[in-house]
């Protein structure tokens, strides 16, 4: 009987040693402020755009580039949702991108027309 009691006590002590630090760490964590969250997401975006995307481009891995760019876009969307300062910036960049795409289509159309005109209809 004494040995089974010792085993039970040893198991209880082992559980206490394992789970006590986990519970203490969970209680001691403070939630991040909005500013800290925005700064953290911004650092993540800088890391993925500045380091990871460059590595993917240097290695010529198109799948890695695409997935990294998709991750950066998700981080930017999350930052825009949580940080009002960046939401305005993202909206402005989206409008600028749309306008640039329209200008690009116009330039392609104009180049095709000019090529046809100056080549006498050959192109």
pLDDT tens, position by position, 34-72: 788 889 999 999 999 999 999 999 999 999 999 999 999
68 and 48 housed in the same domain: yes
pLDDT at 97 over 60: yes
39 and 72 housed in the same domain: yes
Q: Name the helix (H) or strand (E) containing 122.
A: none
* pLDDT band per the 50, 70, 90 thresholds, residue 19: low
Give the pLDDT mean for 20-45. 76
Higher pLDDT pick, 55 / 4:
55
pLDDT at 24 over 60: no
Q: Is residue 116 part of a domain?
A: yes
Query: In angstroms, rounded to a whole number, what is the distance separating the alpha carbons of residues 116 and 103?
Result: 20
78 and 99 housed in the same domain: no
* pLDDT band per the 50, 70, 90 thresholds, residue 82: confident
Query: In angstroms, rounded to a whole number, what is the distance separating the alpha carbons of residues 59 and 53?
Result: 10
Q: Is residue 16 part of a domain?
A: no
Q: Is residue 20 part of a domain?
A: no
Query: In angstroms, rounded to a whole number, what is the distance separating the alpha carbons of residues 52 and 65?
Result: 8
35 and 77 housed in the same domain: yes
Q: How many CB atoms lie within 10 A of CB 80?
A: 19
76 and 47 housed in the same domain: yes
36 and 63 housed in the same domain: yes
Q: How many CB atoms lie within 10 A of CB 15?
A: 10
73 and 115 housed in the same domain: no
Query: Whole domain around residue 122: which residue ranges?
Result: 94-123
Higher pLDDT pick, 50 / 10:
50
Domain count across the chain: 2
76 and 119 housed in the same domain: no
Q: Is residue 23 part of a domain?
A: no
| Length in residues, the chain | 123
């Amino acid at each position: 009987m004494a040995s089974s009691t010792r085993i039970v006590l040893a198991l209880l002590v082992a559980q206490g040693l394992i789970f006590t630090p986990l519970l203490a760490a969970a209680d001691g964590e403070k939630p991040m402020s909005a500013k800290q969250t925005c700064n953290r997401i911004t650092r993540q975006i800088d890391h993925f755009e500045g380091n990871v995307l460059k590595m993917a481009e240097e290695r010529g891995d198109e799948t890695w580039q695409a997935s990294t760019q998709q991750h950066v876009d998700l981080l930017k969307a999350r930052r825009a949702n949580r940080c009002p300062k960046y939401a305005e910036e993202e909206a402005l960049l989206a409008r600028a991108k749309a306008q640039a795409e329209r200008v690009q289509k116009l330039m392609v159309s104009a180049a095709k027309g000019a090529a046809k005109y100056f080549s006498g209809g050959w192109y």
